Amino acid sequence: MISELEQLISNALMELETITGDKELEAWRVRYLGKKSQLTTVLRGLAGLPVEERKRVGALANRIKAELENGYEQKTQLLREDQLVSAVGAESLDITLPGRLLPGGRLHPITQTINEIHEIFVSMGFQVMEAPEVEWDYYNFEALNIPHHHPARDSMATLWVDQKNERGERNMLLRTHNTAGDIRAMEIMKPPIRVVTTGKVYRYEASDATHVPMFYQIDGFAVDKNITMAELKGTLYEFARRFFGEERKVRFRCDYFPFVEPGVEMAIECGVCRGKGCRLCGNSGWIEILGAGMTHPKVLERGGLDPKVYSSFAFGMGIDRLPMLRYGIDDIRLFYGSDLRFLRQF
């Protein structure tokens, strides 16, 4: 009996070795571990054996059963792995075929630029403010120290709305700059104030590669008890550093705007020639990017603030120029032409 069992296990294990498929394995299991297998018969017949033999045969049969079951598990695992490997091998595909695209659009390059600029100024404590595009003469000119007949009005050719007040004067216009929002800011906020007003501005100008009647501007405005030109410089230099990069030089020079005193023009080193002078920068090595200055006392007074107590800076910057410089765009009209072949590039 014992030798039969030992013969059995050696046969079973040898057979198991040679099995390569699921069906064969199942047949093997039925043959050696099934209800009608020799082993099961032996185990069932144990009860009829004398005590001593029952113990010996029983122990051996149970050991053999455990060994066979273990062999079966291992074989099952082995076969599954083989199948997975061969299945994967059969499943190659052309990975150069295009993927299944989710629809994707883009924000306008101007919107992207505005978002970038806002992020910088918001991190410096500025709040983004909105103001009307159709504006009164008062906010756009008069309150900013630009009375009628001021030569500065000539430099901002104005689109007037065809509407007159009781005195027969045209007084409604499309804002020519976002500085128009500064007085509004003073009317609704108390110092300390830090705001940027961003959006469309309008000029009475025929379109060409460098002019369009509508473009984007950002105006910044800060008021408090001890705002100085040093903070104006700090704010704008930091903006330039973050927007244009660490290595670009920046300069402040004197310029004139009626609503500031002293007035400033800020330029960055030309990105093409790096300050040596080229066609883009008109041989100066510098590219003007914004006008700024310390808010004129008369403007603070118009906003209801005492210029002896409060000081303030303001700056205004054209936005379209920034992506033009960054991407080498040579025609401003492209921004407003809605051509997907252009817009998709950003």
Partner 1 sequence: MKVSLSWLKDYVDIKLPVDELARKLAMAGTEVKAWQAIGGRWEGIVVGQITAINPHPNADRLLLPTIDLAGEERAVVCGAPNLKIGDKVAFAHVGAKLIDGHSGELISLEAAKIRGVISQGMVCSEKELGISDSHEEIMVLPAEAPVGTPLADYMGDTILDLDITPNRPDCLSVIGIAREIAALTGQEVRLPKDDYDESATTIDSQVAVEIIDPDLCPRYSASLVKGIKIGSSPPWMQQRLIAAGMRPINNIVDITNYVMLEYGEPLHAFDYNQIRGRKIIVRRAKKGEVMVTLDGSKRALAPDMLVIADTERAVALAGVMGGYDSEVTDNTTAIFLEAASFNPPSIYETGNSLGLPSEARMRFERGISPGVTIPALKRATQLLVEIGGGQAAKGFIDAYPGQKKEEPIRLRASESKRLLGVEFSVKQMKDTLSSLGFEVKAGASGAELLASAPYWRSDISLEEDLIEEAARIIGYDEIPTTMLGQPVPPHNPSPMLRLKSQVSRILADYGFQEVITFSLTGMDALNKLMPQPHALEPEPLRMTKPMTAEQEYLRPTLRANLLTALESNLRHEENGVRLFELGRVYHRRKNDLPLEPEIVCGVLAGPRFEPSWRGGNEALDFYDAKGIVERLFGQLGVEVSFEAGSDESLHPFKQAAVVVGGKRLGVVGELHPKVADAFEIAEEVYLFEVDLMALLPFTIGHKMFQPISRFPAVVRDMALVVDVGVSNAQVQAIMRGFPLVTEVSLFDLYSGEQLPAGKKSLAYRISYQSPKHTLTDDEVNKVQQQILDKLSKQLGASLRG
Part of the chain binding partner 1 (CB under 8 A), chosen from 11-19, 33-41, 61-69, 222-230: 222-230
Q: Counting contacts by CB under 8 A, is residue 242 touching partner 1?
A: no
Q: Which residue lies nearer to partner 1 by CB, 65 or 296?
A: 296
Of 197, 160, 200, which is closest to residue 181 (Cα–Cα)?
A: 197
Which residues inside 311-330 make contact with partner 1, applying CB under 8 A?
311
Q: Counting contacts by CB under 8 A, is residue 172 touching partner 1?
A: yes
* Secondary structure letter of residue 177 according to DSSP: S
Q: Counting contacts by CB under 8 A, is residue 33 touching partner 1?
A: no
Of 253, 252, 236, which is closest to residue 314 (Cα–Cα)?
A: 236
Task: Tell me whether residue 278 is exposed, middle or buried, using C-beta atoms within 10 angstroms of its C-beta: 0 to 12, 13 to 18, 19 or more.
Answer: middle
Q: Which residue lies nearer to partner 1 by CB, 38 or 127?
A: 127
Q: Which residue lies nearer to partner 1 by CB, 14 or 230?
A: 230
Q: Which residue lies nearer to partner 1 by CB, 15 or 205?
A: 205
Check: CB of residue 199 under 8 Å from CB of residue 178. yes
Q: Counting contacts by CB under 8 A, is residue 197 touching partner 1?
A: no
Check: CB of residue 195 under 8 Å from CB of residue 184. no
Q: Counting contacts by CB under 8 A, is residue 343 touching partner 1?
A: yes
Part of the chain binding partner 1 (CB under 8 A), chosen from 26-34, 44-52, 61-69, 231-239: 231-239
Q: Please state the closest distance from residue 136 (CB atom) to partner 1, in A.
A: 7
* Secondary structure letter of residue 14 according to DSSP: H
Q: Counting contacts by CB under 8 A, is residue 105 touching partner 1?
A: yes
Q: Counting contacts by CB under 8 A, is residue 222 touching partner 1?
A: yes
Q: Which residue lies nearer to partner 1 by CB, 15 or 238?
A: 238
Check: CB of residue 234 under 8 Å from CB of residue 242. no
Q: Counting contacts by CB under 8 A, is residue 96 touching partner 1?
A: no
Residues 18-27: contacts with CB under 8 Å, at least 24 apart: 19/75, 19/79, 20/79, 21/79, 22/79, 25/72, 25/75, 25/76, 25/79
Which residues inside 108-167 make contact with partner 1, applying CB under 8 A?
108, 110-111, 115, 122, 124-125, 127-130, 132-136, 148-152, 155, 159-163
Candidate residues 87, 93, 95, 340; the one interacting with partner 1 per rule CB under 8 A:
340
Candidate residues 28, 32, 72, 202; the one interacting with partner 1 per rule CB under 8 A:
202
First CA to last CA across the chain, in angstroms? 85
Alpha-carbon gap, residue 274 to 247, rounded angstroms: 10
